[in-house]
A and B are shown apart, each in its own frame.
Chain A
Amino acid sequence: MKILVCMKQVPQKDAPLKLNEAGTWIREDVSYEVNEPDAYALEEALRQKEKHTGEVVVVTAGPARAQQVLREALAKGADRAIHLEGDGFVGLDAYNTARAIAAAIKDETFDLIFTGLQSDDYGYAQTGVILAEILGWPHATIIMHIEKNEGGIRVKRELEAGFFQFVDVPLPAVLTIQSGINKLRYATLIGIKQAKSKPLRKVAMAEVQSAVGSNLQKIEKLYVPQKSKNTEFLEGSPAEVAKKLVERLKNEVRVI
């Protein structure tokens, strides 16, 4: 099976984020990491390849720093990488990101495309499904298990409130992968070494520009949410804080 995994670099989970002066985006001088659901998508692709043979290709769209995500994926076992490289990719909406990726892979043939179910920055949860629509492929979202069957694959979808559903999907198809579908592996030293000589194709914005239009949704303003509650901050040493909190649990919340 030939599988493409779409991966994104996002600010680290506990990185302190600050707004830019225009209040339209964050300041970019933060630490980045791979978007967590994408790491699970990569792991699943590697496992499918180990089971059925084939090839795992990883793709990302973002500035030069995003190459780190691809290098890590290659070190974990991906065969090659595609980097849609440029600052311009950061501000694309989900539709244009999908269009750009579709343009970059137009000469390739994949059986499956995986994405994480959503990104930790925009949180659109749309790029995978849109990519499927652009390619004319079927899709299934929030996947917790994949196995091959006669006509294609059988996947396990997660629904709300603890419900699940198996769905038979013909190939080629796009799947969005849920965190926790598998156990992530670490890159080995040999893997890290080998990654350096694995092919990484760079695609400039100019090469996919004709596929990309103006964004259909625009962030007018980004800001810190207004607090809806009167929060009481308890301060002091751990012992003092504990005392204050228990006093409130007793007299105000009344659970002790």
Chain B
Amino acid sequence: MADSILVVVEQRQGKLNRVSWETIAAGQAIAAQTGWTLEAAVVGVGAMAGEVAGKKLAKVYAVESPKLEPYTPDAFAHALKLFLEKRPAKLVLMPHTYQVRDFVPKLATGMGSTAITDAVGYKYEGGKLLFTRQMFQGKFVADVSFAGTGPCFVTFQNGAFRADKVEAGGAAAPVETVNVDVPDGIVRNQPQEVFKEAKQAVDLTQAEIIVSVGRGIKEQKNIEIAKQLADALGGELAASRPICDNGWLPMDRQIGSSGQTVAPKLYLALGISGAIQHIVGMKGAKSIVAINKDSEAPIFEIADYAVVGNLFDVVPALIEEVKKART
């Protein structure tokens, strides 16, 4: 098999998402170390291929078929399988988006291979590639090796690499349009229009201070002390997913991969363990304070200030102290 890396980027409404650029950065880093060839593929509509071709890549493919719009896992897996059978790659990198995780296990299985999902980094040791991924909700990380023979599929998590590290190419990479045949009957699902639920009432992305609660708050009535702290600080109240699942706070106050992504000056996490789905939504905060009774909670790995203790003792004292400081 040719030693090449293929990055499959994701575009929506003619725009590449940021994590796709990050994945190109990952591909460039791996290519530089291994000496393998780096190529990219835009699937669906070729309009974006030109912008991608400006980057340091050997080649860009526009994989096209009318059946690729709108997205279905059947069409994407079928098209990419056909493409990869003709142009084998050793390593296929993709951003870990909701779309990719919908089709990549099917694609990998259909090709007799496997997908190492949600990687946060890689290592190249003694000619062997290892991919680092979080396990046990971020409490541990694992170095994972590929033991198959087909293309190794890897998806990279949001923020694992830096989009601004993508190197531009000397000259534009050649673009080749590849028309793939997706016969009738392949696509079984019928997707409807993508929509947003009732307009979001709160835009947490604009908040400078966010007080966020997780499972550690225990009961709905305890949300009140978090609210008081948020009020004392002049900030917004937010939560991790389980709190919104329970209906203790409305869904539009949820931070994380399925909620809002925020980057406030201060993010104060109360009783939040720091599962990866939450971290991706708030790790851009300038300053992170975590209060949690479990000293091994993953949230402490990204905290600037940490308090290991019972939030029901600490928060009331904190409210008092904040009020004092503000008068």
Seen from chain A, the residues whose Cβ lies within 8 Å of a Cβ on chain B are: 11, 13-14, 16-17, 19, 26, 36, 93-95, 98, 120-126, 129-130, 132-134, 138-142, 158-170, 178-180, 183, 214-225, 227-235, 238-239, 241-243, 245-246, 248-250, 252-256
Contacts and interface: CB of A to CB of B under 8 A. Distances in A.
Interface string B77-111: 00000000000000000000111011101100110
B141 A225 contact: yes
B143 A246 contact: no
Does more than half of chain A's interface fall in helix, strand or loop, or is it mixed? Answer: mixed
A241 B307 contact: yes
A255 B135 contact: no
Does more than half of chain B's interface fall in helix, strand or loop, or is it mixed? Answer: mixed
A241 B314 contact: yes
Interface stretch (B21-29, B47-55, B58-66, B192-200): B192-200
A134 B109 contact: yes
29 contacts: A13-B273, A26-B136, A93-B114, A129-B73, A140-B189, A158-B258, A160-B98, A164-B197, A167-B189, A168-B192, A180-B244, A219-B143, A220-B145, A221-B143, A229-B302, A231-B300, A231-B301, A231-B303, A231-B306, A234-B305, A238-B316, A241-B318, A245-B318, A246-B325, A249-B266, A249-B289, A253-B287, A255-B209, A255-B265
Contacts of A239: 317, 321
B259 interface: yes
Interface in B287-327: 287, 289, 294, 296, 298, 300-309, 313-314, 316-318, 320-322, 324-326
Contacts of B296: 16-17
B212 interface: no
Contacts of A224: 139-141
B301 to A, nearest CB: 5
B6 interface: no
Contacts of A14: 273, 294
A224 B114 CA distance: 25
B142 A221 contact: yes
Contact of B321 (A13, A170, A245): A245
Contact of B137 (A120, A141, A164): A120
Interface stretch (B34-42, B115-123, B173-181): B115-123
B144 interface: yes
Contacts of A245: 289, 305, 307, 318, 321
A180 B239 CA distance: 14
Contacts of A139: 73, 106
Interface of B: 73-74, 97-99, 101-103, 105-106, 109-110, 113-118, 130, 133-148, 188-197, 200, 208-209, 215, 233, 241-242, 244-245, 247, 252, 257-261, 265-266, 273, 276, 286-287, 289, 294, 296, 298, 300-309, 313-314, 316-318, 320-322, 324-326
A143 B318 CA distance: 40
A242 B320 contact: yes
Contacts of B137: 13, 120, 123
Given A121-B136, A241-B314, A255-B209, A179 B245 contact: yes
B146 A217 contact: yes
A159 B257 CA distance: 9
A241 B305 CA distance: 11
- The winner among B118, B189, B260, B322 for most chain A CB atoms within 10 A is B189
A180 B241 contact: yes
A218 B136 CA distance: 16
A121 to B, nearest CB: 6
A232 B324 CA distance: 23
A179 B241 contact: yes
Nearest to A165: B194
Pairs A-B, 8 closest by C-beta atoms: A180-B245, A216-B114, A242-B317, A126-B105, A129-B105, A216-B148, A168-B190, A138-B188
